[in-house]
Structure 1
Amino acid sequence: MTNRKKFSGPPDGGFDRLAWAYDFLAALVFGHSLKTAQAHFLATIPAHSRVLLIGGGAGWLLNQMLVHRPLSRVVYVEASSRMLSLAKRKVQDLKHAPLVEFRWGNETVIGAAERFDVVITPFFLDLFTRQRLQASVMPRLAACLLPGGSWLFTDFVHPPYPFQKYLLWTMYRFFRLVCKIEAQSLPDYPPLFTAFGLQRTASRDFVGRMVVASVWRKE
């Protein structure tokens, strides 16, 4: 028994409304930069790792993992049922597609006894309030990461330039309106990670320091 809860859909499934256009819109605004950031540390994933990828959307990053990394198991968690369907279709013809277990849901569908060598959160944590991150999302993800395991984090961070701040403000207003996300602004991520026993071992900035990709190791 893994003590997993059954997921009943929204509030976290609001990206159903945008699933068909999300990757196109991201590329329209940022080009290939967001994909480059997500993939930057994939090479650090040890061979034959058990990986939890949560919030991976339509499956581009999952495809890259299955093609380029020799993994033993991937649990793919996505709250948008339409995004999940797109991800399944994207990898269904790959040789290693049977390694993937697709789950519709959020952090609550991860069993209390489940453990992973690697956790990946691509542009996921910025959807939640600091309170939700502290109380539910990060405790569950940190608990399922094995000691010595790595958390590959890619997300927007507080940008240094006024036009980036305005872009971020606009993005939050758009996604709150269209996808009903709960967050209104970015949290300060490093204190959240260190509070759960993780230490940053590598980091790289993208999009003029508006996006960061980093590796956090669990002590």
Structure 2
Amino acid sequence: MKELKTIKKINNILDKAEKRKEKLAARLTTLQADEKALFEAVQDDFNASILDEREPDKKLSSDLEKLRGEIENTSFQLSQIDAVVKNEIEKQKEAVQEERKEYLAEKGEEFRQFFDELNEAKLAYLSKVIEYKNKHTEFERDFNRTFRSISKRVGLREIDPSYQYQLHAFQRMQVDGHYTPMLTPDEIREAFVEGKLTRLTEKNKAAFKK
């Protein structure tokens, strides 16, 4: 399959953006914890300055303002990442559309080949069904021609050959003890929906082998 360069590029952008968001979020959590601790320190210093009759520590207040500035800047960067990513991804719209079209065309050829194989298998199956029908019709004629009259003459119970080696075209499902080589709706449904053989089909894989 052709390399999807645009998809790879977009995924790379998304990965980098996610890592950046995680880094900024972790940084913001740390800054907010530091801000809380520093705010308490400023409050404690202010209270102490009143009792000690001195001016509050201006450095603590300055550090708090600086920290709050970092928090604001980090929060802003974090809030802008999704917009930046969206803008970058939208630039790739036409390239993604082209890659999607090429991908579908490539997969379409794969499925065409697969459908051809599936159709060949279906035609082979139907050809065997037709062959069975012709073979069974010939068997009935040959049986009657060979045994019908002589069976009556010797006093044997008459046998209807149409019921011998009989397959049913409209059997709805496989039945335990009466497995048929004909496809049944439950087998198709199990294969198509569940992606597997029915229990009885699996059990009877070698049902007609010697």
Shorter-normalised TM range? under 0.3
Structure with the higher fraction of residues in strand conformation: 1
TM-score normalised by length of structure 2: 0.21
Structure with the higher fraction of residues in helix conformation: 2
Q: Which has the larger radius of gyration?
A: 2
Structure with larger RCO (C-alpha < 8 A, sep 6+): 1
